[in-house]
């Protein structure tokens, strides 16, 4: 395990390792920087005591009876996930966590490696988009008695099926790379679709495009 730990020490992403009792036995410099003073001062400390991680619905994920660690230690696999974690008193950050099991042949015991990156800014941006979209839904609906002009209709009627799919993902707060992954297309292709949408709808920003889509009941079309 020493060679693996050595490779992680200078990594830009955070990394820490726990044993079967969920006690942190190693943390790299990036982890200490992101997770704060408790990781530096409290030794030993268990991962759930340090992180106190919660999901998007504010449900406690990190706890003593950790289902994620249990699944890994018994040979299962876990997809990466987002966590809101405690970093300082009354402070928290969002991280995207990847975990994997490593069986140390010399120590004859398994460990769980945690690799993570700080996504706090991304979460803030996504939540801002969600709030703005909600405002748009509430205050930018066209009354049913108002019929869109022919010119307005011609704008969105020129959208392709793929462009309507991209527009729906924009309304969910997805980034360009997430749209590419979701539709199995390259980032450049996703970026081109977004630019085409802005030009066809004659708007300047993604939010304006989403508001237009809400006003004209375009979301969900072309799925």
Strand partners, 102: 111
Which tens digit of pLDDT belongs to each residue from 90-105?
788 999 999 999 887 7
Checking if the pLDDT of 29 tops 80, the result is yes
Buried b (16+ CB within 10 A) or exposed e, 111-141: bbbbbbbbbeebbeebeebeeebeebeeeee
Torsion sign over Cα 6, 27, 93, 183: positive
What is this structure's pTM? 0.63
**Residues contacting residue 91 through CB under 8 Å, at least 6 positions apart:** 36
Predicted pLDDT at 145: 43
Mean pLDDT for the chain overall = 82
20-44: average pLDDT: 81
Predicted pLDDT at 2: 67
Which domains can be identified in the chain, with CATH numbers?
A: 2-118 (3.30.450.20), 123-215 (1.10.10.10)
Tell me which DSSP letter residue 54 carries: B
Pairing of strands 109-118, 91-104: antiparallel
Lookup result for tokens 């991280």 = 95
Predicted pLDDT at 42: 58
Q: How far apart are CA 35 and CA 14, in angstroms?
A: 9
pLDDT confidence bin for 115, thresholds 50/70/90: very high
Q: Report the range of poorest mean pLDDT among 36-45, 112-121, 148-157, 175-184.
A: 148-157
Of all residues in the chain, the percent with pLDDT exceeding 70 is: 83
C-alpha triplet 133, 135, 136: angle, nearest 5°: 60
Predicted pLDDT at 142: 44
118-136: average pLDDT: 79
Instruction: Please check whether residue 119 is in contact with residue 82, taking contact to mean a CB–CB distance below 8 angstroms.
Output: yes
């Amino acid at each position: 395990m020493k060679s693996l730990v050595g490779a992680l020490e200078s990594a830009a992403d955070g990394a820490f390792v726990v044993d079967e009792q969920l006690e942190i036995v190693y943390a790299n410099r990036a982890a200490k920087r992101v997770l704060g003073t408790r990781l530096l001062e409290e030794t030993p400390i268990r991962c759930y005591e340090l992180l106190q991680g919660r999901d998007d619905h504010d449900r406690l994920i990190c706890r003593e009876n950790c289902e994620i660690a249990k699944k890994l230690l018994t040979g299962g696999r876990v997809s990466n996930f987002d966590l809101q974690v405690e970093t300082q008193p009354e402070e928290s950050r969002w991280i995207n966590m990847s975990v994997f099991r490593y069986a140390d042949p010399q120590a004859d015991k398994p460990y769980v490696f945690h690799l993570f990156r700080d996504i706090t800014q991304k979460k803030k941006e996504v939540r801002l988009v969600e709030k703005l979209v909600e405002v748009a839904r509430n205050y930018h609906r066209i009354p049913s008695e108002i019929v869109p002009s022919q010119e307005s209709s011609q704008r969105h009627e020129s959208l392709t099926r793929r462009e309507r799919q991209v527009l729906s993902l924009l309304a969910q707060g997805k980034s360009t790379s997430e749209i590419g992954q979701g539709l199995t297309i390259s980032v450049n292709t996703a970026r081109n679709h977004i630019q085409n949408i802005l030009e066809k709808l004659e708007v300047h920003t993604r939010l304006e495009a989403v508001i237009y889509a809400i006003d004209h009941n375009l979301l969900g079309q072309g799925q």
